[in-house]
Structure 1
Amino acid sequence: MEKGWNGLPYNTIADHYSNRFGEKVYKIPVSVVDDCPNRRGLKGMQTCVFCDVWGSAARSESLTMELKNQIETFHTHIAKKYKARSFLVYFQAYTNTFTKLTGLRHNFETALSYDFVKGFVVGTRPDCLSKGVLDLWQEYHQRSFVAVELGVQSFFDDQLEFMRRGHTAQASIDAIHKIADSTQADLGIHLIFGSPGETDEHIIRTAEIVNKLPITNVKLHNLHVLKNTPLEEMHARGEFTPIDRETYSHRVKLFLQHAAPHLAMHRLAAFASRWEELVAPKWTSDKMGTHQYIIDYLRAEKAYQSQFFQTDDVKTQTKILDIRNKSLATVMEH
């Protein structure tokens, strides 16, 4: 079994968390809100083209369960399956800061009331970051691990407009700096590849932008079509066709090659857990198969993270060269 930065051609989020906690930790995905600014139609916004009624919830049944019940139920399942001991509660679905501060505080207190919980992760978006939210994150940072995953999706306004995100690329950059300046939360972003008109240059430029941001991790997704979404209607009219797995793997390769070595990667592609709701592409339902396909593709291309990353800092460059040498030795073995 391959493990770690030297066994895989990229820096994994598992290693990032292991370095932080001294052991492997697992996420317990929970759902505590069922709305967002887009779905509410604020300021004329529309629902994102890719978002279904579950709002990215990992488990649809969680939307009807109390938070304590979710934590206890999913903890039991994950602990038994992986013999896991330490966990982070992941507030995943919809926009988790699109609610009252009293509700957020209650949710955080509930999560931290369990001995096996080492902290929490909050999924949100660039336009839902009040001073109260930032202050609350910093307050909880004093007693626990706090991480934020920001749904950026793209740094190109035409792609954001296609997705109907309701915010600009600059708004995302401003939000990232706002979080970094106001809190000590472990900050990551989500990106989506596969928008119409996307080119290799877009991917490389994305990596260059990301490298300059005060973040520690990135989660990659392929734009895919789910039932009962605006994207399904576009797909049916022939206005959108998702990219194939090889093309997507090529774009992941480009991003990784130009990404800084310190950036930890979550999953490398999206996964549709509710197979019956997936319209296209079908490979999005094959979680492990797609993951292995991308790894095999990277190895066949002799590609790895930070391969083409450049910096003027001598210490950083020395560290990068050491990582590259170890990574190259690894990929050459396969």
Structure 2
Amino acid sequence: MEKGWLGLPYHTISEHYNQLFGEKVYKIPVTVVDNCPNRMGLKGMQTCVFCDVWGSAANKETLSMELRSQIEKYHELIARKYKAKAFLIYFQAYTNTFTKVSALRNNFDIALSYPWVKGFTVGTRPDCLSKSVFDLWNEYHEKSFVAVEMGVQSFFNDQLEFMRRGHTAEASIEAIHKIADNTKVDLGIHLIFGNPGETDEHIVKTAEIVNGLPITNVKLHNLHVLKETPLEGMYHAGEFSPIDRETYARRVELFLQHLSPRFALHRLAAYSSRWDELVAPEWTKDKMGTHQYIIDQLRAKSSYQSQLFAAESATDLEKQNILTKKSRPII
């Protein structure tokens, strides 16, 4: 909590986890798969323009480490740095459901074998889901916390085509409802802002679409250029210009203002942990600086999540009232 304020002007994922577990929970990102449908070229697909050779792995060294070694190494680091006691294992890189169910089961069992692990989070995409995967998630939901984060990235097909995602906005929405209808997992989505031709209207419409989805959380990213990605070639050819920090902060503000108060936010912007591989924009290196810049912009305008959302239910009105108070300084 920032000094002089009641809290951040949006519903944080930490608050969401506190409500679920009664304590602060930290994620340990791990890598257990090394491919996805795009990178394999299935059905004529191409690698996403923003994806580097590490497939969004938090630490590239994890690609050569056994799962137990990853968990134990990063548990020790995070526990020592933050005095953390409770953890979720985050199966993050590439597409984690793009493998055999038996392999998924083995990975889940390893993750849950540690007494300080409260559950796990699985990263996936709309076209890598099946009934057997749903059944497996439900099975593990009976004995632990299970969360799913789906890489939607955009609800506009021209933007998805530019990113070479290989799926449509309609497929994403259908997949979200299938997961909600067939499982009990805690479901969230990833979105990317800063695509070519993006407008404020796109951002408002995105918030309106999210408001109608059966999910609990959202993670925001800004489209940025990494080395050895298709986007790097586009950037050097003058075919793509990254969004500047000021514009991005305003887009995040607009999204939050129209977003229902019931959704938790993981983060407000992307962060490039591999500084030597970032091409542009430079501000993507500065994790805390960018976060604080966005918060400062929200504070300066007294903006907050759900500010322009028409809350109707008693629950939404209560949460909106809390966010309204959090947007004001303590006098």
| TM-score of the superposed pair, with normalisation by structure 1 | 0.96
Could you list the per-position Cα deviations for residues 45-83 of structure 1 after superposition, in whole angstroms to 9, with x for gaps in the alignment?
000000000000000100000000000000000000000
Q: Tell me, what secondary structure is at the counterpart of 1:89? A: strand
* Equivalence for 1:19: 19
Q: CA deviation at 1:301?
A: 1.6
Tell me, yes or no, if the aligned pair for 1:306 and 1:320 is still in contact at 8 Å.
Answer: no
| TM-score of the superposed pair, with normalisation by structure 2 | 0.97
* Equivalence for 1:97: 97
CA RMSD of aligned residues (A): 1.4
Q: CA deviation at 1:324?
A: 4.6
Q: CA deviation at 1:229?
A: 0.3
Q: CA deviation at 1:267?
A: 1.1
Structure 2 CA distance, aligned partners of 1:265 and 1:125? 19
Q: Tell me, what secondary structure is at the counterpart of 2:218? A: strand
Structure 2 CA distance, aligned partners of 1:48 and 1:30? 21
Structure 1 unaligned segments of length 5 or more: list them.
none
- 1:254-269 mapped onto 2 (5 Å cutoff): 254-269=254-269
Could you list the per-position Cα deviations for residues 149-193 of structure 1 after superposition, in whole angstroms to 9, with x for gaps in the alignment?
000000000000000000000000000000000111000000000
* Equivalence for 1:170: 170
Amino acid at match of 2:195: S
Could you list the per-position Cα deviations for residues 190-216 of structure 1 after superposition, in whole angstroms to 9, with x for gaps in the alignment?
000000000000000000000100000
* Equivalence for 1:109: 109
* Equivalence for 1:158: 158
- Identity score, percent: 72
Structure 1 residue 129 corresponds to structure 2 residue 124: no
* Equivalence for 2:32: 32
- 1:79-90 mapped onto 2 (5 Å cutoff): 79-90=79-90
Tell me, yes or no, if the aligned pair for 2:299 and 2:327 is still in contact at 8 Å.
Answer: no
Structure 2 CA distance, aligned partners of 1:193 and 1:293? 17
Tell me, yes or no, if the aligned pair for 2:111 and 2:117 is still in contact at 8 Å.
Answer: yes
Q: Tell me, what secondary structure is at the counterpart of 1:148? A: strand
Amino acid at match of 2:321: D
- 1:174-193 mapped onto 2 (5 Å cutoff): 174-193=174-193
- 1:195-206 mapped onto 2 (5 Å cutoff): 195-206=195-206
* Equivalence for 2:297: 297
Structure 2 CA distance, aligned partners of 1:21 and 1:201? 37
Distance 1:318-1:174 versus aligned 2 partners, 3 A rule? same
Q: Tell me, what secondary structure is at the counterpart of 1:93? A: coil
* Equivalence for 2:7: 7
Distance 1:275-1:328 versus aligned 2 partners, 3 A rule? closer
Amino acid at match of 1:322: N
Q: CA deviation at 1:325?
A: 3.8
Tell me, yes or no, if the aligned pair for 1:310 and 1:317 is still in contact at 8 Å.
Answer: no
Tell me, yes or no, if the aligned pair for 2:11 and 2:323 is still in contact at 8 Å.
Answer: no
